[in-house]
Structure 1
């Protein structure tokens, strides 16, 4: 007589049974392996990050119109991005602590509501100073959404599929970016720029629809919630900043190098995300529709880069994937920014590998940072390192803004390549975590 299988525990209920996981090696095996609850969590995190991206890009896409409306110089427009990213460090750190203390889903809802409300508020700004304040407050929610959503899904994903699962979450950024470019192209083609930039910000109310669905349908991974509740030190900055000592390894070294890694990658990325639209308009003399077309090509590369990088981070490992695409991203930036005048076809063609490489490097971030920290402080660690890196990396697009008048936007984009060099060096202080179980 065969022995019946043991009953499934609360810890295993959200995942498929072993028999159900037998065919999880196909193209969508990672999605099946999440189970019903995990797939709902995936949908909530994907939608939240896509709309996070949409609300972020309302600024770079309207930057030329804003500069003309308020009479801003390059340094002032660059400061709008910088303050968003700097304040996002505060928002991300706080969201990480909340994720460890009140749960992943509740923290996710708070971040989405925050970035949506203040994106809409930007559209009502009567002057530059008010816009700066609203954009800073938008950064509070913007900073926390990715870290919380990534942890929520990482705790449902299997070690085997975690890289490609989180890479798929990262691809939501390209989806939101695409939506922003489409809406921007339509709005600025139909309306006067002085009104169009306001309408663009007002469309940032879209996330309200997502909030209703997440509130009703998404739950934290059971075993992660249980482990978090058992820990006496959940959501503690002291734990992630504690140096090691004999017999008691600390997390300070991990935190320092993870911040440097995040600084380099995001410094490079946000330099491009902030200034490429301006570069295409002012130095390539493209129209609104022309800029949208070139950005669509860039974003297509980004979407495929997220998915490919997610697969490679499981195959090559977290560190090798980041090293590979840090090098390729730096090369692409230098080539893209130094094309001769009149080479518009090359600008179009190089946009695809540029978008591909600078996005593929991000695919491993969700899984890598989640695997570097224990469950009780996973939100705190990931929120702090990712968003502190984002804040420090904000110096890079600011430098481009202040040097654009003398170097040209294209010449100043070299700071993006420097950022990727910092990321490659940071990996020397971090371990490989591929295959690590989170609970």
Structure 2
């Protein structure tokens, strides 16, 4: 059976959105219509809290290493196992989203990552913590792909890039919230208790699930198109015909971008503390510049992905991100003020590259296997890209964390090459 979607007979967003004023800075939000805006809020909140729960680990790494007596390699393994298992969770969540709907799959992923984040705070041994963190990855891996598809199927082709870029910006919101809570918790609690408290605060997403269950629903037209297909949620479909090429190159694209990103997100806090000797509050100050740049990068990248196209936006920021990594890791000693200033463009570039992912991956696959394709490629990229933080961990013992960070630039080169095998999809309707 063909894996290409049927010719659209209706638009992929509610009729109310057809008449909404789509002009102005927030025209993309008005164009979603009431149901689309509720879906946007649910996806935004879910991804922000996903980010918050993820960053409880990188921000607590120094305390964890001291508590369990870990070297850099075993510490980095905590991140790697999260990302590797997230590939399984993301792939499964994509299939579930195609078979039972986007909203129900979204709730399952949020409950999963929240429960096991809290469980990490009770871990008595390193091995137990490693197991809980792996299970947390099941939910962590699926949330973004499901939430992005939910919103993409409400958004118009004209605004899809900036709409999904706005959803992506919630990652910076969750990251910032985690940094604030980290600063407070580690200021008032001893390190042996503080890292546990950080994980316990990961229960927050449970509140979101209650609201999503009552207020959010799948896009009706996309749901109808998905239900008409006999191959919805089929893994084999994304490896047949023209979709095989798409799946291979989209997986490489995700691997490169996420390899570079997770190298930085995992090791920058440790780099600032262990090699720059910054206090907890000082590290928080540096992260403020990094996170502020990330938030604006997501929004700007979303705008540019609609203006320049999906591929050009990723190419541009792959180059700029690699340049920022090399500059950041080679600042001479004593130039901490320059380190502070450079944090902003670093956060901006390494985040702007992600803004087009939600729209691009959604547009590469037909409705019946959109969740499966996006969930598999994005999270396979997470799993393979997870090798990068662990490699940095092992290299750090000889090169220092700053020197090892350069390895992350290789990821962006892989991403740039992968785009040569993928088409431009700007302006494509999803039904």
TM-score range, shorter chain: over 0.9
Cα separation, 2, equivalents of 1:290 and 1:64: 15
The residue number in structure 2 matching 1:429 is: 421
- Preserved CA contact (<8 Å) 1:166 1:364: yes
The residue number in structure 1 matching 2:325 is: 333
Aligned partner of residue 16 in structure 2, secondary structure = coil
How is 1:40-439 mapped onto 2 (pairs within 5 angstroms)? Answer: 40-242=38-240, 244=241, 250-439=242-431
User: What is the Cα-based RMSD across aligned positions, in Å?
Assistant: 1.1
Cα separation, 2, equivalents of 1:112 and 1:17: 28
Cα separation, 2, equivalents of 1:279 and 1:214: 38
Shift of 1:16: 2.4
Cα separation, 2, equivalents of 1:373 and 1:290: 45
Deviation string for 1:65-90 (max 9, x for gaps)? Answer: 00000000000000000000000000
Cα separation, 2, equivalents of 1:211 and 1:13: 23
Shift of 1:253: 0.3
Shift of 1:15: 3.9
The alignment's TM-score, normalised by the length of structure 2, stands at 0.97
Aligned partner of residue 318 in structure 2, secondary structure = helix
Cα separation, 2, equivalents of 1:425 and 1:415: 17
Q: State the structure with more CA Rg.
A: 1
Deviation string for 1:17-59 (max 9, x for gaps)? Answer: 54x33x3121000000000000000000000000000000000
Aligned partner of residue 433 in structure 1, secondary structure = coil
CA distance 1:349–1:16, change in 2 (3 Å)? same
- Preserved CA contact (<8 Å) 1:111 1:140: yes
Aligned residues: 423
Shift of 1:414: 1.1
Cα separation, 2, equivalents of 1:278 and 1:325: 25
The alignment's TM-score, normalised by the length of structure 1, stands at 0.95
The residue number in structure 2 matching 1:25 is: 23
Deviation string for 1:264-283 (max 9, x for gaps)? Answer: 00000000000000000011
The residue number in structure 1 matching 2:4 is: none
- Preserved CA contact (<8 Å) 2:259 2:387: yes
Unaligned ranges ≥5, structure 2: 1-8
- Preserved CA contact (<8 Å) 1:15 1:33: no
Shift of 1:12: 7.4
